[in-house]
Structure 1
């Protein structure tokens, strides 16, 4: 904050200069006015002296006129260049009073309406925290400074969960939901915090939150994991296995939590078998789609494009939403190129290649870098999303 206050002080000095400079000028004008009055007094004294000498017979009329003219010339020479005095209606106290009130009033207004706390928080967040406690304090101050920031509330709630403060986290997640809406991820986080805050006791409210979250997004990971935990604690091992298997499908292959999750599934399986039960076989997973596409530019277009022009390669459903199911971005300089479009490249989780039986491949050149509009385009014939044979796509037509 030191540099901020230095800058504010510099601006204050500039503002005060507009008030103080006129005062200094008025003092200079007063000095000039006093000097002019003194010169006039000296002139009058000289004229009186000449008149006395004329009355005593020392000077004749011609000498008297010459002396008077000489005194007048000296007066004019001494007062030449002196501006006429300006009368100030405000007087001297008003600028001095304003010079005192401006900084005081400015400081008071800034402390009331300003954002010094937010400036300080911005400076703090630009530096890495030294401990989790310091990070928590920063987030708490951020929430206090911006109580309507759903993002700040969300991160504070997650931090409370890592510090084993689920009751505090539940209150924060409830505020986040009220601000950001009933998003599935937020509902799952809220339900999880409530579950641990209540000593791992399931309740109708927690059930309602997880049901709402999974209805909006059947793949919401926090709700799936929480339902699996609750089922395991309630000795409903088959349900725990099912929920955790669904969660396992959503995690990336390199996610470290997969090991712990797989361990939980193994323990639930062992307890189910030990109690005389039998693990139900999960339905066969739907094979993921993967299309291999070779993209090239028609020879007649090579002179009409620039190496830096963007090239968007994507697959879209022939019967379904217009949004791309999978997409890659290259430049003209990369052509010819071979890319793979699969479920891992899905723009949205619910819009995967494998969810649509028939798709079309599209390659578009856009100088403006816009995937939805460009100058040149190439399209394939409709093909099955399960196609494994390599495909060829040539950009050869104007994009209309």
Structure 2
């Protein structure tokens, strides 16, 4: 903040300079004006003296005229560049008045229209960065209490709510951001996504209207395309899902990590449409690439055709999660515990997730396709998976303090798996 006020002070000095320079010049002009008035008086006295001398016959007519001409030339030389008296007085008063008003008016206008609060909050955010998503959320909430008309603040609050799986609150935040700003297509897509998950994945006329508006303004709006594909897949409209996801893949950058997941969803939808044609192709690919290949993972033979339902019901992993004895004094009962399954070869995002607290341990949980975060990413779609349990004091499923991991296992493993949290979580996994 010191730098801000120093800069403001320098700008004020520069502005006052433009106003006070004319005042200094005005004083110089006043001095010259006074000298000119004196010269005029001397000229008048000189003329009177010449008239007296002519009347006394001391000067001839020619001498009188020569004296008058000489006095006039001297007066003209002294009054060259004379400025009006009224202009001089006005130029002396106005700069002083304006110089006094400029700082006061500038400060008052800044208090009314300026953004000193935003500047202070930004500086505080940079200097004291939040250490957890909960702290970030609390700061944003407090900031919006002070400035409830910040469209950017409501947008970022919505994003943090979504990261915490608080879809209902996120939807309200995105809606408020839209009310305060423009109906940007990307923001409309975020709002629709939050509404969809807040309504337990129930598609509504409002969602259709919002996504239609977003895609009309921007046919390549990624969030809306992905959301429409998910909704279509959930409703069994597989051709529509393929269409939306193919458009999405076409606009995503080649290095985008979500491309593989979306492509897997496309293959899964195709398998649902034509099981007989899809299964042999995928089986052949699996034989060539092997079980660790990424490409066929989203459409393994057991996920296609009439056997899909049976496989989905069989894709259920049971795991008992416990805490290592030497960590019991290092954790708190309220720390979050995330238990999830992820593909050994495939997209990095979890396929299924369950959440509990340290106080619940030890505990037995089941992970199945019913716990899938996205319909195109299910346990049954990947031949080998890995089980992970993570303790996160911040409530962030992607990073924490302690973790336990299993060896790779088949997605149809029926035996109860033992998973012990015993290792420091030194990196995001």
TM-score (norm 1): 0.44
Structure with greater proportional helix content: 2
